[in-house]
A = this chain, B = another copy of it.
Amino acid sequence: MPVNIPTLLPEHLLCIPGVKLGIAEAGIKKRHRKDLLVIALDEGTHVTGVFTQNRFCAAPVIVAKENLANASIRGLVVNTGNANAGTGNTGIQHARATCAALAELFGCEPQQILPFSTGVIMEPLPVDAVINGLPVAVADLNKNNWYKAAQAIMTTDIVPKGVSRQIVLQGAPVTITGIAKGSGMIRPNMATMLGFIATDASITHSLLHKMIRYAADCSFNRISVDGDTSTNDALILMATGQAGHREICESESPEFSQLQEAVTEVAIELAQMIVRDGEGATKFITVQIEAGKNIDECKQVAYAIAHSPLIKTAFFASDPNLGRILAAIGYAGLDDLDVNRIQLYLGQVLVAENGGRAPGYREEQGQQVMNEPEITVRVVLNRGAASTCLWTCDFSYDYVKINSDYRS
């Protein structure tokens, strides 16, 4: 069961002037399941995105990057049930055909549509089902459909994920709403499985891109469920410019900072929701690495901890078998690491120092922290001023069950 995700209700997701969403049951993998989402954007909306670094990136990712570079975007189409990844040239043709079909319904150019897919890899996209579903989704377009959209993009997700924020820029209220999906194959490298954030703020395209990179680095690039970087990761930020304030043109302006902070908050909350709903997750783990020489080595240590099956199963068992964390720090690849200078904390409890167990540490203290559903592992390297943190979950029977049964 998801770890501490407050129940999302439709009214939690605020609509964004200039953005409409429509859903359909296209029968892509299973019948009677919302599996197709269309997003329509008013003219003048700036759109930007960050995408997976996986070399086997999916056909829709290739097409979306091309279209983003060449056209002003008017629509997005998202299907679940099939990733259209590892599908070669046919996959690219399918993604383009999907864009063309939606463009015809919208009365725009195919290049003005961004396609997205998520689901099983290396199976041909049932493109006819997708195209046949589009008219229903378009007929459903409505600015209040964010909650249904969050449902329509789910795969192994247990709960829909979305969040809204409001800020005031120059006296004008500005709204930001984001939705995301993802539960397994989660170690985003630039973005998550799929995340869509929209705002009615007015901002130049180049600043919008700066903003999404920052937000992704603070959020989706800091989570891991299983260490597997997906072929389909994409995070999209859309700004319709209808809030009524002057366009943000300066990255040094207070308005840019205020908006960036709010967008990043939305991204972090969505990213954390993905971990909390990670496949089989029973614990939400924050891994915090401090006093490293640079951020890269902090990340190396953080990922070694976050990806160790031994550590993740110990968290699942609420077993303070913390020597496993020392082992992971030791093999993280920091060749000149002096283990005698490290402090390891579990929550507030000092567990290890001087290369071994801290004299004051008692197993009961570790046990108490381990019993909590939210746990912070803190490693102080004491060799510099850099720090980082990332979020992950434990490794349970249900992870194995979900991933042994996924296609059946």
Contacts and interface: CB of A to CB of B under 8 A. Distances in A.
Interface of A: 53-57, 83, 85-91, 120-124, 184-185, 187, 189, 226-231, 307-310, 313-314, 316-317, 319, 321-324, 326-332, 334-335, 337, 339-340, 352, 354-357, 395-397, 399-401, 403-408
B229 A331 contact: yes
A85 B327 contact: yes
A332 to B, nearest CB: 8
Nearest to A231: B327
Most buried by B among A184, A310, A408: A310
Contact of A329 (B55, B89, B357): B55
A332 B187 CA distance: 12
Contact of A356 (B57, B91, B120): B91
Closest 9 A-B residue pairs measured CB to CB?
A: A121-B323, A88-B356, A56-B330, A122-B323, A317-B404, A229-B331, A313-B403, A54-B330, A88-B355
B400 A330 contact: no
Interface of A, secondary structure class, is loop
A319 B123 CA distance: 14
Nearest to A340: B88
A140 to B, nearest CB: 30
13 contacts: A54-B330, A55-B331, A56-B326, A56-B331, A85-B326, A88-B355, A91-B356, A120-B321, A122-B326, A231-B327, A309-B395, A316-B400, A319-B406
A403 B56 contact: no
A85 B407 contact: no
Contacts of A229: 327, 330-331
Contacts of A187: 331
